[in-house]
Amino acid sequence: MDNDLKSIAAARRTAETAFTAYQNFLGTDPAHVDAIVDAMARAVEPVARELGAMAVEETGYGNVPDKRIKNLFNALSVADFLRDVTTLGMLWRDDATKVAAFGEPMGVVAALIPVTNPTSTIIFKVLSAVKAGNAIVCAPHPRGIKCGMATVKVMADVAEQMGAPKGLIQCLDQVTIAGTAELMSHRRTSVVMATGGPAMVKAAYSSGKPTLAVGAGNVPCYVHKSKAGEIGEVAEMIVTSKCFDYGTACVSEQAVIADPEIARELRQEMKMRGAYFCTLAESDRLSKVIFTGKQAMNAERVGQSSQALADAAGFSIPPKTRCLVSEETEIGWHRPLSAEKLNPVLAFYEARDSQHGIEMSISIAKFEGWGHSACLHSNDPEIVAQFAAVPTGRVLVNTPAILGGMGYSTDLEPSFMLGTGTWSGSITSDNVTALHLINIKRVAYENRPWRDIYEEYGE
């Protein structure tokens, strides 16, 4: 049997098993569901580093300390948030209108897992799906199947020890494009959660099933002159956020746009924190390494350290360089480094003035990153209001983009699936949570005499 047939068989088997487990899980007391979710989150904590190390070794992307942080955030912060969220049973009741809402599970969730975040995304999606009373089958990238299966096993074992049906949480052990497509379109699958490259997201939308999917992020980060007294802290936020896990998160900063009054100081402060500003020739060589020439990222250069990228591009950088910066003036594929870069590489623009800075931010977001996120550093409320015109689902103010967007340093919902809205073809611009994985049933009593419609609108 060839690999496609094996993967298709695995998809069919897991979907059927998941559906049976889901049926057996129906009616579980919400308090027991919460206990299972909490137990799974706690089980991740002692193995967070081990799972992160497995992910780095298998995929070659990112670094272990930051993978560990991602795993812990998606276990502990997400579980903390979910603990106070009602997903099953009565959600709310309004005695005045005689309407009440009840949450019910969707069924079997097919969860596509990206190679850039293979363990943390599974943790997030499993907790969210189970909190909503669903079964879940994870379909990892072939390059992340071992660490994906290990993560699922940790969570599934604990859930079953807590009384969850066997098969409620599963992972494909044979993964091909054909097998993943079979899982998404299978009659037992109710909803698809798709995180991955453009081709896989497009396939998810074509599966015929309701789909929660995300688009690319090309996050502009505009630094306004009103931050003149805080440029060091702004530089630290930008460099730290962009370099986190070697840039594998699409919500991290992609391009810095600085007002002319503070641009020189910002460059200097970024250099002091490990940013290396490339020469024009180095930038051109770097772009040829990062991109394939077909308006696509080179998968072999995703999630690599700045040193590895510089070595591949054939130029030298100082020791302890954290990120590479390319000075840019134009936006578009004729300047590839103005696009999304899933590695520690930033574009840097100097605006003519505040209006130009906001206009450039809008252009950068529209080029590849429509609907995702934008970042602003400003103490001027009027500038914040103007910057909100950027066409993104999140506008993150005075915070590192990655930590603000995923809901750690802001009060956005903790999530590792950030919707991009209809700007990029997604059904939601929300931070996706368990609340997106339930059907909401409304029970409504008659509240006005039905015959009155003839008096009010009849002839």
* 131: CB partners within 8 A, 6+ apart: 33, 34, 37, 82, 85, 87, 434, 437
Distance CA 213, CA 193 (A): 6
pLDDT tens digits for 49-62?
999 999 999 999 99
Check whether 188 has a pLDDT greater than 90.
yes
Check whether 267 has a pLDDT greater than 80.
yes
Higher pLDDT, 1 or 260: 260
Structural domains in the chain, sorted by start: 3-214+426-444 (3.40.605.10), 219-407 (3.40.309.10)
pLDDT tens digits for 335-348?
999 999 999 999 99
Residue 369 — very low, low, confident or very high, per pLDDT cuts 50/70/90? confident
Kindly state the average pLDDT of the residues 15-38.
Answer: 98
Check whether 195 has a pLDDT greater than 80.
yes
Task: Report the helix count and the strand count for the chain, using DSSP H and E.
Answer: 17, 15
Kindly state the average pLDDT of the residues 130-152.
Answer: 97
* 281: CB partners within 8 A, 6+ apart: none
Tokens of 228: 């003149």
Distance CA 151, CA 308 (A): 28
- Phi, psi angle pair for 251, to nearest 5°: -95, 0
Check whether 197 has a pLDDT greater than 80.
no
Residue 87 — very low, low, confident or very high, per pLDDT cuts 50/70/90? very high
Distance CA 120, CA 127 (A): 11
Distance CA 386, CA 394 (A): 14
Task: Name the region of 62 (left: φ>0; alpha: ψ -120 to 50; beta: rest).
Answer: left
Kindly state the average pLDDT of the residues 390-416.
Answer: 98
Check whether 294 has a pLDDT greater than 80.
no
Mean pLDDT across the chain = 96
* Catalytic residue (choose from 147, 250, 278, 375): 250
Q: Percent of the chain scored above 90 by pLDDT?
A: 93
Check whether 169 has a pLDDT greater than 90.
yes
In this structure, how many other beta carbons lie within 10 angstroms of the beta carbon of residue 221?
Answer: 29
Q: Is 250 a catalytic residue?
A: yes
Check whether 98 has a pLDDT greater than 90.
yes
